[in-house]
Amino acid sequence: MIVPVILSGGSGTRLWPLSRRNHPKQLLNLIGEHSLLRNTAERGYGVDGAQPPVVVCNESYRFMVAEELRAAGIKPEAIFLEPQGRNSAPAIAAAAFHVRKNNPDALMLVMPSDHAIYDLDKFKTAVTVGVEPAKSGDLVLFGIVPDRPETGYGYIRTAGDFKSMASQAVQEFVEKPDLETAKTYLESGEYLWNAGIFLFSPDAFLEKLEQLEPEIYTACLAATEKARTDLDFVRLDEESFTASPAKSVDYAVIEKVDNLSVVPFDGGWSDIGSWDSLMRERERDQAGNVIAGDVLAKNVGNSFLHSSGRLLGVVGVDDVIVVETSDAVLVAGREHGQEVSGLVNELKKQGRAEADNHRKVYRPWGSFEAVDSGDRFQVKRIIVKPGGVLSLQMHHHRAEHWVVVKGTAKVLVGEKEILLQEDQSTYIPLGTMHRLENPGKINLELIEVQTGSYLGEDDIQRFEDVYGRSE
């Protein structure tokens, strides 16, 4: 019995502006038709003996995670919500306590949600190879057989037998090397990339965690014991979880223990951690360019060019990254792609919304998108899914005008409930309780015009909410 554990807490800042804190890369369709998260869930659910997965994610995009799993037809065992990111060791610990309590004989297949793996049969075989050493108490790693000298990954030194895919002992962990060192690793045939994918029993992991990092162990035990259920989610206790030291599982446990095995894997893998890594996984044209969207390129080579909507024209440059979204444009040299996260940090310091959200913001009931704004007004396009219900709410600083352009709206304004069809409208005065609902079978689309002295998203007082969101 194997319980896939999917880690989905990262924000993917190096892939800004496509990836944002509240809509990160694992929720984007970067490779193929589906999101990286959905691909990961299907991959884990497809191994022999797999049970419903346990997911650990940031609470700010919990509904999007649930929707991705629903679209894949996978009902998770649990979706744990981190009140604050504490790196991978506490996230895995919380999942391990849950699995030990509910499936004590199961093994945990721990997978980051932002990886791409292409040969699923080889992946299933590799997991099967790892089952026996994991049952015997080993912490099993899956090492990627390198095909190039890579400076962005950590390495695992082994005996060098990669053809049989048999598990073998880990001899040494090596930090990210410089290029010349990476070349020697590749030539030696003894090194694997550390993929951050693991297979072990919850008891084997928690025993080592308690010995090596008792503060993480104690904090995460308390966080799971005091956790509360919220709709389809499990909220880890905030005070307990945030008391845990923030450490990666490699530094906290994996690199300090001796009961390790590694299974070589050469079925095509990437962690999609930067524009360069994404570029390697996408089809190129004859000039070496990856082009997506409405792009016109002349005399351009070896570049990543992405348009999310507007026409993007690029002329006479090589080795650049140009990414257009509705509210931001990134232009960078390919050799500086790793520095994009520093740009995002600067946006955060300036309090810029572009660090966290796209212009289109997703909610459990649907989405809204800013269309225009100015002094004392803002225009949004709102889409409500069939059956979607906004909270019963009130605003202290703004009034709202709603115009239905598609579908049917059920609107409560004060004590009055009305139905609006296409081309009909209503007005919500400042300080009036109101609610919007889609009773139909197609998406409800409307244009909202806000007017007032303050138009921030935090000017909302909720009285009732079917999704359990607090004020």
Please report, for the chain, the start and end positions of each structural domain, with discontinuous segments joined by +. Answer: 2-270, 275-342, 360-464
Q: What is the pLDDT of residue 470?
A: 63
Q: In degrees, to the nearest 5, what angle opens at C-alpha 58 toward C-alphas 193 and 463?
A: 170
Q: Is the pLDDT of residue 232 over 90?
A: no
Predicted TM-score (pTM) of the model is: 0.90
Exposure letters 191-222 (e unless 16+ CB within 10 A, then b): bbbbbbbbbbbbebbbebbeebbeebbebbbb
**360-464 has CATH 2.60.120.10 classification:** yes
Tokens (6 digits) for 368: 């809204």
- Residue 88 corresponds to which tokens in the numbers above? 């991978």
Give the pairing type, strands 366-374 and 434-437.
Answer: unpaired
pLDDT given at position 152: 86
From CA 92, how far away is CA 5, in angstroms rounded? 8
Contacts of 351 (CB under 8 A, 6+ apart): none
Write the pLDDT tens digit of every residue in 60-118.
889 999 999 999 999 999 999 999 999 999 999 999 999 999 999 999 999 999 999 99
226 pLDDT higher than 70: yes
**Residues 107, 112, 115: CA angle, nearest 5 degrees:** 125
pLDDT at 471 over 70: no
DSSP E strand stretches across 201-259: 228-230, 233-235
- For 364-410, the pLDDT digits (tens) are 999 999 999 999 999 999 999 999 999 999 999 999 999 999 999 99
Burial of 415 (0-12, 13-18, 19+ CB in 10 A): exposed
177 DSSP 8-state letter = P
- Continuous H helices in 46-197: 62-71, 88-102, 120-135, 179-188
Per residue in 241-295, pLDDT (tens digit) is: 999 999 999 999 999 999 999 999 999 999 998 999 999 999 999 999 999 999 9
Beta partners for residue 290, in sequence order:
304
Cα–Cα distance, 133 to 443 (Å, whole number)? 51
What does the angle CA 233 – CA 237 – CA 243 come to, to the nearest 5 degrees?
A: 135
Give the CATH number of domain 2-270. Answer: 3.90.550.10
Mean pLDDT, the chain, integer: 94
Q: Does residue 133 have a pLDDT over 80? A: yes
Please count the other Cβ atoms lying within 10 Å of the Cβ belonging to residue 373: 12
Give the model's pLDDT for residue 338.
86
> Strands across the sheet with 461-464, in order?
416-420, 409-413, 434-437, 392-394, 461-464
Question: What's the distance, Cα to Cα, between the start and end of the chain in Å?
Answer: 41
Q: Residue 170 above 80 pLDDT?
A: yes
Do domains 2-270 and 360-464 share one topology? The answer is no
Average pLDDT score over residue span 164-177: 88
Q: Which two tokens stand for residue 47?
A: 């191994």
Q: State yes or no: pLDDT of 161 exceeds 80.
A: no
Give tens-digit pLDDT for 307-323.
999 999 999 999 999 99
Which pLDDT tens digit goes with each residue over 408-447?
999 999 999 999 999 999 999 999 999 999 999 999 999 9
Q: In this structure, what token pair is assigned to residue 52?
A: 């419903």
Using 50, 70 and 90 to split pLDDT, how confident is the model at 32? confident
Report the percent of the chain where pLDDT is more than 90. Answer: 88
At residue 165, the pLDDT reads 78
Q: Rounded to whole angstroms, what are the CA distances from 403 to 7, 390, 414, 427?
A: 41, 16, 18, 9
CA dihedral 219→222→228→234, nearest 10 degrees, is 50
